[in-house]
Copies of this chain bind each other. A is one copy, B any other.
């Protein structure tokens, strides 16, 4: 923690006092939300039930604040294996519709990444545990904590009977970690209804680049997620009885995955860098001005050595260059112990993060051509099948509009510092969806710290970030209303 100026007097003062005084209640609600195993990435009925329960809890919370809430049923999802599973609903909520106020639409998601105690969690992932001011649990930072911080901010206005200076809308989905199935279609459908009055869209679904300094995010990478299946037969083989005479699927798959990226992180798929936007002198300058303490970043990441040594190279390879990660293999032996098996059918999983001006369908074609060429050289009698299972474009915003200025001011007020102006290496596809369909300003206002470990074991949010973040959002409502009004006066 570092020191900052005391909050100014006036309406904010009371809001901040209220939030401080009620912080244990806010943590308690987060605990109840974390206890719901709302995992979207694994298509099993139990998790879908948990997602439905999570949506009902969030709808209830918003209704108690006086919001008009619409729980939109998205129907079912057909899985590749023919199974049909219900999709979690999307919540559309609305507080106020004063035409003289700007309307801020807050996007968040209620689903989480998978988590198992046995993966290396020190506490049960679905039981919030506070240790030294850190609130551990799956979803604490990604994205239940930030969603609740927005709700906390609204509840402070409500509890103090202060007028909300903006109309607030919420759109909360349950499939973000699994490609936001059904969301884009709904946004299109609601473009001229729910979204017609929206001026600003805010997303709080990423992290700062530091443990202490807040950030504003104006760009994210896209993603293209691939599977490559190599099949000899459905059944596995005994490695004694068949070892030595088979084209083993694992040998093929390891060769395919090994052809994707070299030891310096350079992607080996021909043509993949052709589409990447050329770098400009101005851009290089921007990277130089970002305040990133490399040593701290390395320590908080617990990484001995990165692929690059300078701040500029590291940020560019996270934000403006594509990256390829191999996530794992399905169908092989993955448990502890020693099993002497030749897996009969294995599926490798990898993804490429996309940057301006890369295009999902061009990348898909390049990946397929490359893997087919590598496989064909092996003369294997196995069957190979490559699939793009998720394709999401990158996003970049303009940073000179009212909500970016309002957020900067709110950050100065609450934290006493200038934010880092950053991009994010991860993918928040809804940013592209909103920008393309609604055609309004999209901003990312994160409140998690760099070491929160979203998607990893022992995910956490600091109590400090959660509570100060709730204040930040309250301050943002006031600032954006003020700037929006002065914008309107300046109109010709």
Contacts and interface: CB of A to CB of B under 8 A. Distances in A.
Interface class of chain A by DSSP: loop
B301 A353 contact: no
Interface of A: 41-43, 113-114, 119-120, 178-179, 207, 220-221, 223, 225, 232-248, 250-252, 254-255, 257-258, 261, 263, 265, 301-308, 314, 317-318, 321-330, 332-344, 349, 351, 353, 377-381, 389-390, 424-427, 453-458
Contacts of A381: 303-306
Question: What copy number does this chain have within its complex?
Answer: 2
Contact of A318 (B244, B318, B340, B341): B244
B327 A343 contact: yes
Contacts of A303: 232-233, 242, 246, 381
A114 B334 CA distance: 12
A325 B258 CA distance: 17
A327 B245 contact: no
Q: Which 8 A-B pairs have the closest CB atoms?
A: A240-B426, A328-B332, A244-B323, A328-B333, A305-B381, A243-B323, A334-B334, A258-B258
B302 A456 contact: no
A246 B306 contact: yes
18 contacts: A42-B337, A43-B337, A113-B339, A120-B236, A235-B302, A235-B457, A238-B455, A239-B325, A239-B351, A246-B303, A247-B263, A248-B265, A255-B258, A257-B258, A326-B332, A328-B341, A330-B333, A344-B456
Nearest to A233: B302
A453 B235 contact: yes
Given A248-B325, A317-B244, A327-B239, A41 B337 contact: yes
A336 B43 contact: yes
A42 B328 contact: no
Contacts of A425: 240-244
A424 B258 CA distance: 33
Contacts of A378: 263
A395 to B, nearest CB: 12
A374 to B, nearest CB: 10
Contact of A250 (B327, B330, B455): B327
